[in-house]
Amino acid sequence: MRRITLLPTAACLLALTFASLAPAQQVTADAAQVPPRLLQVTGAADVPVSLHSADVAIETHGGFATTTLELELRNPNNRVLEGTLQFPLGNGQQVAGFALDIGGVLRDAVPVPKARGRQVFESVERRGVDPGLLEQTAGNQFRLRIYPIPAHGSRRVRLVIEEAMPRDAGAWRMALPVQLLSGADAFSLRVNAAGTAGAPSVEGNFGALAFAQDAQGYRAVVRRTAFRAQGGLVLRFPASSRPMTYSGEHSGEHYVMAEVPIPQSAAPDRRPPSSVGVLWDASASARTRDRDGEFALLDRYFKAMGNGRVRLRLLRDVGENGGEFDIRNGDWTALRHALEGAVNDGASNLSDWVPDPAIAEYLLVSDGLQNYGGKMFPVLAAHQRLYAINSAGAASDGSRLAALADARGGRLIAWQGRAALAAAAHALLGQGARIVELHGDGVVDLQAETRQVDAGVLRIAGRLTEPAGVIRVTLEEAGHRRAIRLDVAAASTGDTVPRQWARWQIAAYAGEPERHRAAIARLGQQFSVVTSGTSLLVLEDVADYVRYDIAPPAELRDAVARLQAEQRQQREASRSERLDQVAEAFAERLAWWKTAFPKDAPITRKAVRASAVNSTTLESVSVAGGAIPPPPAPAAAEPAARAAASGRADAAAAPAAADQLATMAPDETVATIRLQAWAPDSPYAKRLRAAPAGQIYADYLDERDSHANSTAFYLDVADLLLQKGRNAEAMRVLSNLAELELDNRHVLRVLGYRLMQAKQWMAAVQVFRQVLAMAEEEPQSGRDLALALAASGQRQQAIEQLHDVALGDWDRRFNGIAAIALNEMNAIIATSPKPLETGFIDRRLLQNMPLDLRVALAWDSDNSDMDLWVTDPNGEKCYYANKRTYQGGLISNDFTGGYGPEEFVLRKAKPGLYRVEAHYYGDRQQVVTSGTTLTLSLSTGWGTPRQQDQTVTLRLSGKDESVLVGEFEVK
């Protein structure tokens, strides 16, 4: 099937982004912006997928709202499509449910670990069965994948969003951008408001809503055909001036929530301290921020300061000190010029700085995206505060910024538009109330929505250990403290309150989600909250819930339990068989390694037939090495000819370095590796090659916007900078790959491979850890990390990771990776300068097999077919159709389903030239791809102390093409 990706042209695609945002975390204003279409199609669809109907239901109770959207997507094309909907959520919102129609009935999704969800979705999709997956990508961004949308058919999706509405001038406020649902053939909106002090009111040009009152509250219904909205819809629900308490039950535990109105402070603005640190995010993603708005806010801040001193730190892939600046009578001109001149480039590493005890307050100006580096965010002293400033809107990780600032005595200041600037300045400079102490009697695990009380409301949730309890809060405001007592008790049995508590717990971990990955995933799965570690999954076939060990929705539990009982014994047997299978395959590799293959010219079939005529039997004709080999393949093209054909390869292989000499044995083989030099012929590449070394980076910045989404562009530029010795600039350019797409493991793999090639081992380890967290279901993720760990000196971790790869129960399309992983594991053990602990490894799997020559090929595209070819001095090509050559060359299983690795090995090499080629047959991906990036490692003296390696990364842009990668010359 062909997949068409439905993507937005702006940050909001399916804007479930009711622009209401959590109090004390975001200051916002309505912006008159033209929204993108709900669905846009890239690729070869004849007609765009349309939104046939949209039904929106809003239920409110006090300050909490639940919005349910049922969407019907119609495919008018003659082909089956997969749809991908990407959308952001605002602060204060969470996905509370997702369902996909199966056989005409909406089936609820169930929570699964994120990596598991992606694995199952892609595995099921390959079988042509209906899956649906909702996952968080990065920050507040979410992705919904639906398969299939039938030709001339439709699919229905239900999404449930819960939110804590912000308080605004005595009312709860919800902004529903119904214009993003514009174009639906049919549209309906139902509003049910309970627990409100009066009838809701409507703002915007959507049109009037007629609310009718009944015993449950206020209700309104709107139905329209051929719906065309001219703007958004803002609903205001009158808020009570009394404290409100809510309760709910989940898995036998009772949770409570208190909502306390707090009058807005009339205290004058504070004066900032005279020693301030500005942490300025100057990564590539900073280009989406409102820099003029940030300068306007800083202008108000420094005018309030009057006189002081500022220390600047620029945050990119590697942090950089930006200097110190004096502020005189609010004049910060010199600092502003420095910020205006800062180049926005490279990945985002927000943790690369060290607090200075002399600085009282830090301003982190950033979009909150963290995608590079392994450091934890610095901890401040008790007298220091951190304020986070975010103008990037939906293209940001507001949750991370809010958690970082909240835990360090400050708050997040997030706004968009000039109209909201005054409110942002007040939030930055105000002396509003803040929680300084929080205790409970009969209620534990207390969590505030935010410790900074803003917009006139304080919200706290906890878990009851008794039928009733007391929450005690101490607030500090303008230097004064006051205590609040809240009585709470179990009542309702709904699950909204438990989910809100879980979401606030998760938000508290959001400052360092990498550190709290397990806790976030545990809460997400327990409370069905979509997080960075938990997704929601729908499966069609009941057996798939058993096959992938996934808890089913309630209506399928009995059927799944029966199947589980039947398959439990089979599963136990398969575990014990796996080790034996791996050991048997390893023994076959060892038998090959021990075989002495001939090193003369192979006997041709013609010579064999002639000899047979003069012999009594064919068996009397001896051919060393076993069976008669196939006729040798034609010799590979000369390097110059192949290089001319390489114009089909569009990018970034490293230029050939000086020949590396590796002695295989003291008195025997000497082999040299030569990599084929590449010179991309694109206009930008020609321009940069012609520039002086010191001008390349400036020319790259000039070209960048024209190639901002091209992996090849950054690889090419990084190579050119490395050639000229501009290593720091090269690594910064290369790190942009981490900024290209949120949560794209394929791009991150390329980055990791290229960092390995550049010998940036620790940076590669961090990148491959990210990839492994994203794609644990792919054995290549573990193998890549293991090789980076070994290169960085962490050999014990490396062999443990490779052991897991070798014995893992992987999808059958990855058959053959065990032999490669064991080969690499044993080589690391044999060449380690210190003995490694190997007691956990079955003795049948411990045998190093040194090699004269080895080649390993890996690539970044799933469901694609790449082949490794090695042609020896006999002219014989070793490849998938000729896996063992006359002189003993051996190639691994052919990976036709993506990633590789494929491996060529030769224990004893005869003298001569060995040509290494990669052949791209194409892919079966259901997405539009721009090519495949290959990484090839060529080694001599493999598994010995004399091992020498060279690595090349290049990109093939067409289909059914081959390139010469390099050569071994054996003497």
**What pLDDT was estimated at residue 585?**
92
**What pLDDT was estimated at residue 240?**
83
**Please, which pLDDT band fits residue 823 given cuts at 50, 70 and 90?**
very high
List, for residues 185-204, the tens digit of each pLDDT value: 899 999 999 878 789 999 87
**What pLDDT was estimated at residue 568?**
66
Rounded Cα distance between 526 and 534, Å, is 10
List, for residues 285-344, the tens digit of each pLDDT value: 999 899 999 999 999 999 999 999 999 999 999 999 999 999 999 999 999 999 999 999
**What pLDDT was estimated at residue 574?**
66
| Higher pLDDT among residues 638 and 588, named by residue | 588
**What pLDDT was estimated at residue 625?**
33
Rounded Cα distance between 207 and 229, Å, is 10
Q: Tokens 């004066």 correspond to what residue? A: 271
**What pLDDT was estimated at residue 731?**
95
| Higher pLDDT among residues 644 and 176, named by residue | 176
**What pLDDT was estimated at residue 142?**
84
**What pLDDT was estimated at residue 31?**
32
Lowest mean pLDDT among 30-34, 421-425, 457-461: 30-34
DSSP labels for 105-155?
EEEE-EEEEHHHHHHHHHHHHHTT--EEEEEE-STTEEEEEEEEE-TTEEE
- Contact between 810 and 820 (Cβ < 8 Å): no
Query: What is the distance in angstroms between the CA of the first residue and the CA of the last residue of the chain?
Result: 50
**Please, which pLDDT band fits residue 99 given cuts at 50, 70 and 90?**
very high
**What pLDDT was estimated at residue 456?**
79
pLDDT exceeds cutoff 90 at 570? no
**How far from the centroid of its chain's Cα atoms is residue 703's Cα?**
27
Lowest mean pLDDT among 347-361, 414-428, 641-655: 641-655
Q: Tokens 């997405």 correspond to what residue? A: 927
What average pLDDT does the segment 43-62 reach?
A: 80
Of the candidates 916, 910, 917, which has an alpha carbon nearest to the alpha carbon of residue 873? 910
What average pLDDT does the segment 263-292 reach?
A: 90
Burial class (CB in 10 A: 0-12, 13-18, 19+), 52: middle
Does the pTM of the predicted model rise above 0.95?
Answer: no
**What pLDDT was estimated at residue 79?**
84
Strands (DSSP E) contained in 195-273 are: 201-203, 212-214, 217-225, 233-238, 244-250, 253-261
What angle do the packed helices 557-594 and 795-807 form, to 10 degrees?
A: 110
**What pLDDT was estimated at residue 943?**
94
List, for residues 578-626, the tens digit of each pLDDT value: 888 999 999 999 999 999 999 888 766 444 444 343 433 323 222 233 3
What average pLDDT does the segment 710-720 reach?
A: 88
pLDDT exceeds cutoff 70 at 357? yes
**What pLDDT was estimated at residue 27?**
41
**What pLDDT was estimated at residue 395?**
77
**What pLDDT was estimated at residue 283?**
96
Mean pLDDT over all residues of the chain? 82
**What pLDDT was estimated at residue 659?**
34
| Identity of the highest mean pLDDT range in 101-110, 679-688, 896-905 | 101-110
| Higher pLDDT among residues 606 and 822, named by residue | 822
For 411, phi then psi, to 5°, come to: -165, 165
Q: Tokens 């809100």 correspond to what residue? A: 500
List, for residues 452-489, the tens digit of each pLDDT value: 887 778 999 999 999 999 999 999 887 889 999 999 99
**What pLDDT was estimated at residue 386?**
97
- Contact between 276 and 305 (Cβ < 8 Å): yes
What average pLDDT does the segment 51-71 reach?
A: 90
**What pLDDT was estimated at residue 673?**
83
Q: What's the Cα-to-Cα distance from 387 to each of 70, 268, 278, 529, 726, rounded to whole Å?
A: 39, 19, 10, 28, 35
**What pLDDT was estimated at residue 797?**
97
For 519, phi then psi, to 5°, come to: -65, -40
**What pLDDT was estimated at residue 334?**
97
**How far from the centroid of its chain's Cα atoms is residue 121's Cα?**
16
pLDDT above 90 as % of the chain: 43
Rounded Cα distance between 571 and 406, Å, is 47
List, for residues 736-793, the tens digit of each pLDDT value: 999 887 667 888 888 998 899 889 999 999 999 988 988 887 889 999 999 999 999 9
Rounded Cα distance between 356 and 310, Å, is 12
Peptide bond into 911 cis (omega under 30): no
Rounded Cα distance between 634 and 84, Å, is 46
- Contact between 156 and 211 (Cβ < 8 Å): no
Give the helix/strand (H/E) hosting 770: helix 761-774
